[in-house]
Amino acid sequence: MLNEAAQRSAGGSEVLRKLPRVPLTTTLRLITSPSDERINMHARVDRVFRRHGVASCQDLLFFRVVHLFGPDAARFVLLDKDRIFSARKPWTTIMGRIFPNGLLLMDGDQHKLHRKIMHTAFTRPALRSYAERMNPMIGEGIAQWNPDRETFHAFPAIKELTLGMAARIFVGADLGDETKRMNSAFEDLVAASMSQIRLPIPGLEFQRGLQARKFMVDFFSGMIERKRNGEAPDIFARLCRTVTDEGERFADQQVVDHMSFLMMAAHDTTTSTLSSMIYELARHPEWQERIREECVGLADDSPGFDDLERFQLTGRFMKETLRRYPPLPAIPRIAEEDTEFAGYRIPKGAMCVISPIHTHHMAEWWDDPKRFDPDRFSPERAEDERHSHSWIPFGGGPHMCIGLRFAETQIKLFVHHMVRRFRWSVAEGYEMPVQQAPISKPMDGLPIHLERID
């Protein structure tokens, strides 16, 4: 049975075509190639696009993947006007045992209701209060970075800082000694969700993840009553307290599951973006200087959430970083009905993959796409406005990132504190080795030379 979109095409003179099939040899090459080639996702998917066009299918070990390329495909799948695509199914396969019942692991009406309740933790007043508390944490955190070392590895330092912030902003400032244990459990959870071997074998990542999940569940559950009855401004407390006008609220287990998922969704993505920004700012000292001037001119130690809109240059730089290094290079969905795209029949059950990293580098939509050029986002050039779905680091449609303003706030505040305290560079000829999938990150810890500004 075809859905409406497919019937429209099939009913006209157009007959739906079969998807071109990526040959088995390409799939085998992917499986047997060295790991650095396997993780260069852009090169890999671009090869498929050039050979087969906007839609093709590929049999991977246990399932069929349909590659859909370009902003029209992103709009079709992410907006999902005909309600054909499930986010729950692919994301449950990927991380369901470690992060069950997260917002992204829900579809339809259930997702709509949970998103509505969760939204109360991301309103403007809530974001204002997070920004207020982020400022001293970032300021004090980076003040401890040591510029005297020959090389400073920026990635682990940023990771530690964002973890500390997650403990305070998400869970509350009253954790004390528990912070360390929670952070370590949280790291095990994230590692397990990315793990290649998903068997509960003692000593392996996945088993450590299952144990960490138990720790987190007990840890959050033990705090719920206090959070429900108190007035704390952290995200956990807000999720506990929220009751919608219609009387809807999260049950205890739902708060626990949402908290684990939220922290995971926030952490690696923001760390990835900040690392890529630090790298590109090191490679573009003229931009580092322009942004420093803007930050010094606009605010002191504590810009508020409402000030951040005026940080135009940081904003442009952030957008260009997210274009070149989208933390989530691919977004999966499963078609729950037969459908069609661009005249091709997509069978029910196919795993359809949208590639932000590919869309972000299409010469049809971006001038000189491999060039790092933040001014492409200036009001005069506005290259991102050529199509509603050509810039999609935060996804789109019903599952569009709920934390995007939170992320933007954290990123802008971090850059503000960083440029006012330090100048930094990378060694001549250095090129950051990037692992693009599953979440983009530098493979060498990102060595930089850091110099304190007096």
Starting at the earlier edge strand, list the strands of the sheet with 55-59. 55-59, 64-68, 351-354, 331-335, 85-86
400 vs 427 by CB, closer to ligand HEM: 400
- Nearby residues of 415 by Cβ (< 8 Å), 6 or more positions away: 277, 281, 291, 295, 314, 317, 318
Under the criterion CB under 6 A, does residue 269 sit at the interface with ligand HEM?
Answer: yes
Under the criterion CB under 6 A, does residue 399 sit at the interface with ligand HEM?
Answer: yes
Q: Kindly report the CA angle at 448 between 137 and 403, in degrees rounded to 5?
A: 40
84 vs 402 by CB, closer to ligand HEM: 402
Closest distance of CB 449 from ligand HEM, Å: 26
Query: Beta-carbon neighbour count of residue 183 at 10 Å?
Result: 17
Among 266, 282, 291, 446, binds ligand HEM (CB under 6 A): 266
DSSP category for residue 377: G
Residue with tokens 């001549």: 428
Under the criterion CB under 6 A, does residue 130 sit at the interface with ligand HEM?
Answer: no
185 vs 354 by CB, closer to ligand HEM: 354
Under the criterion CB under 6 A, does residue 71 sit at the interface with ligand HEM?
Answer: no
Among 406, 414, 422, 424, binds ligand HEM (CB under 6 A): 406
Stretch that binds ligand HEM, among 60-68, 363-371, 379-387, 402-410 (CB under 6 A): 402-410
Helix, strand, or coil here: 243?
A: coil
Name residues contacting ligand HEM, limited to 84-113 (CB under 6 A).
87, 103-104
Under the criterion CB under 6 A, does residue 401 sit at the interface with ligand HEM?
Answer: yes
Stretch that binds ligand HEM, among 92-100, 237-245, 265-273, 302-310 (CB under 6 A): 265-273
Under the criterion CB under 6 A, does residue 327 sit at the interface with ligand HEM?
Answer: yes
Name residues contacting ligand HEM, limited to 158-217 (CB under 6 A).
none
| Cβ-contact 133, 422 below 8 angstroms | no
By the criterion CB under 6 A, which residues form the site for ligand HEM?
Answer: 87, 103-104, 115, 262, 265-266, 269-270, 273, 327-328, 331, 393-395, 399, 401-403, 406-407
